Every structure is written in C-alpha cells, then in structure tokens.
C-alpha cells in the first residue's frame, strides 16, 4: 500500500502562487470578502506567505537583499493531532496516509482547527456562492469513497475543510487504469499544485517506494519537516534553500 507524500523545494519556489490558484480552482474553494479575510475566515488550502510574516522585513543589506517565502498545504501527518481532538471522528487518516475529512459527520466544533499546529484547517463560515462567469468553470468532479465525499464538490456551511492532496485525482487515475485493463501507476496521481508549479519546486509520490523521487529527496541533507519536535511526522516535507 503506498504512502503518499509531497516534497517542496524552497530553493526552487519563486512564490508565484500558481499552486494556490490551481488548488482553489481544482477544489472549488470559495473566496471571502477582504473584511472577512481580515477576521481569519479566508480559505487557504495552499497558502504562500513571506518569511518573516511581515513583508517589510527583509534579510540582508542592499544590494544583497533576500526575501524568503513559505508555501503551506496540509502536512498529512502520520500522527495527526486533529484526529485526536475530533469528538465525532469526522477527520481520519486513510490506509494510504492521507488525512481526510468526513463532511457529513463534522459538527463544526472546530476543535481540529485549534488542534492543528500548522493552521491548515479552515471552517466554512458561509454557504459557498460563485457569481458568473466563475460558476461556469467550477470543477464538476464529485467522488464518493466509502460513502464519504472526497471530491471538490461544494462543501456545506458549518464544516471544516482542508487540503486533500487532491484525492479525487487518485480515484480518477485508478478508475482510468481499471477501465483500460492495466495496473495503476503511482506517477499517474499528481495533485493540481504539483502539476501547475512553474518552478518545478513540488514533487509527489509514494514515500514507501525506495526508488521514488520523494523518498530520495526526503533523505537529502536539505530535507526538514515543520515542527518536527511535536512528533506529528508530517508527510509534506521541505528542502532548505541553498
């Protein structure tokens, strides 16, 4: 059974935010007005932000000034705190290591958003609405896995949502392979952010395959995981700049 993982090379990331746009379009993630975003109600499944957070703070001195950026999807932890605090079992980790959300079971208590040390879980404060012509370009994919909505179809008001590693693409790739009477290949499953990355800074694959690109990169001396000391064991891995 594969264990899906993403590696992000911060040396190659140019902070173009193509990954953020691709994620929003692929998963039909709604936007909120600026005044609501200021209240922390923006839906940013795949955020890109400067380090330090204050964009006026730059490192170095003229003419050698350096600004660093961080991109942050869900970490898909092997030991996810969000699962431990959910009182109704609405968030769970599947057999392939992807942390999922059962929207039908979620009661909107938001314990998981507090329990997530990475701040990558978002409460749906409003019923998603899209004005034309945006509504004409929504992703029509809708995937039901074991009775659980996994695709990017509209999430209801009052539930928590997050990055899913575009799990609907996994289901579609497997269904296509089955329809063609052949084995599914791991390289057929590519999340939208990885496919769209202009700097080729994102890699995706099976962390249990010793020959996969993500496994090789994870063993690099440049690799690190966010907040490793918490023991969450994220499967989203970074490569340091330089």
Domain residue ranges in the chain:
4-239
Q: Which residue has the tokens 């507090």?
A: 114
Task: Say yes or no to pLDDT of 211 above 60.
Answer: yes
- End-to-end C-alpha distance for the chain, whole angstroms: 34
- Architecture of the domain delimited by 4-239: 2-Layer Sandwich (3.30)
Name the more confident of 78 and 51: 78
Q: What is the pTM of this model?
A: 0.89
Mean pLDDT calculated for residue range 26-31: 87
- Residues in CB range of 175: below 8 A, 6 or more apart: none
Cα angle at 167 between 164 and 172, to 5 degrees? 160
Check residue 186 and report its DSSP letter: G
Residue 51's pLDDT is 76
Amino acid 218: pLDDT: 97
In DSSP notation, 114-127 reads HH-TT---EE--S-
Please give the distance of CA 48 from its chain centroid, rounded to a whole number: 12
- The chain-wide mean pLDDT, for the chain, equals 89
């Amino acid at each position: 059974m594969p264990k899906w993982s993403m590696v992000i090379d911060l040396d190659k990331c140019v902070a173009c935010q193509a990954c953020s746009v691709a994620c929003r379009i692929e998963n039909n993630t709604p936007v909120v007005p600026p005044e609501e975003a200021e209240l922390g109600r923006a839906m940013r499944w795949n955020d890109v932000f400067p380090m330090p957070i204050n964009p006026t703070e730059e490192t170095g001195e003229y003419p050698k000034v350096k600004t660093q950026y961080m991109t942050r999807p869900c970490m898909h932890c092997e030991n996810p705190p969000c699962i431990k605090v959910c009182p109704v079992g609405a968030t769970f980790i599947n057999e392939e290591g992807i942390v999922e959300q059962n929207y039908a079971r979620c009661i909107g208590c938001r314990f998981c958003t507090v329990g997530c040390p990475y701040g990558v879980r978002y409460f749906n404060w409003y019923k998603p609405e899209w004005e034309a012509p945006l509504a004409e370009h929504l992703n029509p994919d809708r995937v039901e896995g074991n009775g659980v909505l996994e695709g990017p179809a509209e999430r209801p008001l009052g539930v928590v949502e997050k990055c899913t590693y575009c799990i609907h693409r996994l289901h579609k790739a497997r269904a296509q392979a089955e329809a063609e009477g052949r084995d599914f290949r791991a390289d057929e499953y590519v999340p939208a952010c990885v496919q769209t990355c202009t700097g080729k800074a994102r890699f995706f694959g099976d962390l249990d395959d010793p020959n996969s690109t993500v496994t090789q990169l994870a063993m690099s001396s440049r690799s690190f995981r966010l907040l490793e000391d918490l023991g969450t064991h994220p499967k989203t891995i970074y490569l340091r700049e330089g």
